[in-house]
Structure 1
Amino acid sequence: MDQLSAITANDLEVIRNPYLAIGVVVLVMLAVIAFKKMPRTEEKSESLDISGTFKRLLANRNYREGVIAQMFYVGAQIMCWTFIIHYGTEVFVKLGLTEQAAEARSQMLNIYAMIIFCLSRFVCTFLLKYINSGKLLMLLAAGGMLFTIATIFLNGVAGVYALVGISACMSLMFPTIYGIALTGTGDDAKLGAAGLIMAIVGGTFLPMAQASIIDMKVVFDGFSATKASFFLPLLCFVVIAIYGKRSQKHLPK
Structure 2
Amino acid sequence: MEKIGLVRTRDGKSFLVPFILITSLFFLWGVAHSILDVLNKHFQDTLEITRTRSALIQAVVYGGYFIMALPAGRIIRRFGYRTGVLTGLVLYGIGALLFIPGGRIQSFEFFLLALFVIGCGLTCLETASNPYVTVLGEPESSERRINLAQSFNGLGWICGPLAGGFFLFAGGGDVTTPYAVLGTVVLCIAILFSRVKLPEIGREAESEQAEASGKSLWRTTSFTVGLLSLFLYVAAQTGINSFFINYATENAGVSAQEASVWLSFGGMGLFMAGRMGGSWLMRFVKGEKVLAVCAAGACVCMAAVILMPGGAGWYFLLLCFLCESIMFPTIFSLSLRHAGTQTKQASSYLIMSIVGGAVAPLLMGLIADRISMAVGFIVPLICFMEIWGFAARYRKLS
Give the alignment partner of residue 333 of structure 2, picking from 174, 179, 194: 179
Contact in 1 for aligned 2:221/2:397 (Cα 8 Å): no
1:121 paired residue number: 275
Equivalent residue for 2:367, pick from 198, 209, 213: 213
Q: CA deviation at 1:128?
A: 0.8
Cα deviation, residue 180, structure 1? 0.9
Letter in structure 1 aligned against 2:69: V
Is 1:230 the counterpart of 2:377? The answer is yes
CA deviation string 1:126-173 (max 9, x = no partner): 111121111111111001001111111113221111111111011111
Deviation of the 1:102 alpha carbon: 2.0
Structure 1 residue 68 displacement after superposition: 0.3
Residue 63 of structure 2 corresponds to residue 20 of structure 1: yes
| Corresponding position of 2:394 | 247
Deviation readout 1:159-218 (Å, 9 max, x if unpaired): 1111111110111111111111112221111211111111101001121111111110x3
Does the CA-based 8 Å contact 2:72-2:348 persist in structure 1? no
**What SS class does the counterpart of residue 393 from structure 2 fall into?**
helix
TM-score, structure 1 as length reference: 0.78
Q: Amino acid of the residue matched to residue 188 of structure 1?
A: Q
Structure 1 residues 226 and 185 mapped into 2: Cα distance closer, same or farther (>3 Å)? same
Instruction: Label 1:158 to 1:57 Cα distance change in 2 as closer, same or farther (>3 A).
Output: same
Kindly state the Cα deviation for residue 115 of structure 1 after the two structures are TM-superposed: 1.4
Structure 1 gap segments, 5+ residues each = 45-54, 94-100, 219-224
Q: Distance in 1 between matches of 2:328 and 2:229?
A: 9
- Identity of paired residues, percent? 27
Name the structure 1 match of 2:313: 159
From 233, 244, 256, the counterpart of 1:84: 244
- Structure-1 separation of matches of 2:302 and 2:397: 29
Q: Is the 8 A contact 1:76 1:233 kept in 2?
A: yes
Distance in 2 (alpha carbons) for counterparts of 1:250 and 1:130: 22
The answer to whether the Cα contact below 8 Å between 2:302 and 2:320 also exists between their aligned partners in 1 is yes
Output the CA distance in 1 between the equivalents of 2:353 and 2:309: 33
1:249 deviates by 4.0
Of 61, 72, 78, the residue aligned with 2:221 is: 61
Which residue of the partner structure matches residue 96 of structure 1?
none
Change (3 A) 1:10 1:109: farther
Q: Name the CA distance, whole Å, in 2 between partners of 1:23 and 1:192.
A: 14
Higher relative contact order (CA 8 A, sep 6+): 1
The aligned residue for residue 52 of structure 1 is none
Does structure 1 residue 200 correspond to structure 2 residue 200?
no
Q: Residues 11 and 82 of structure 1 are in contact (CA less than 8 Å); yes or no, is this contact kept in structure 2?
A: no
Choose the corresponding residue for 2:235, options 62, 70, 75: 75
- Report how far residue 8 of structure 1 moved: 3.6
Distance 2:397 2:290 in 1: 14
- Matched with 1:110 is 263
SS of match in other structure, 2:55: helix
Preserved CA contact (<8 Å) 1:87 1:226: yes
Q: Distance in 2 between matches of 1:178 and 1:8?
A: 30
Aligned residue identity for 1:162: F
TM-score, with normalisation over the residues of structure 2? Answer: 0.51
Q: Distance in 1 between matches of 2:304 and 2:363?
A: 21
Amino acid at match of 1:103: A
Letter in 2 for 1:248: R
Q: d(CA) in 2 for partners of 1:250 and 1:129?
A: 22
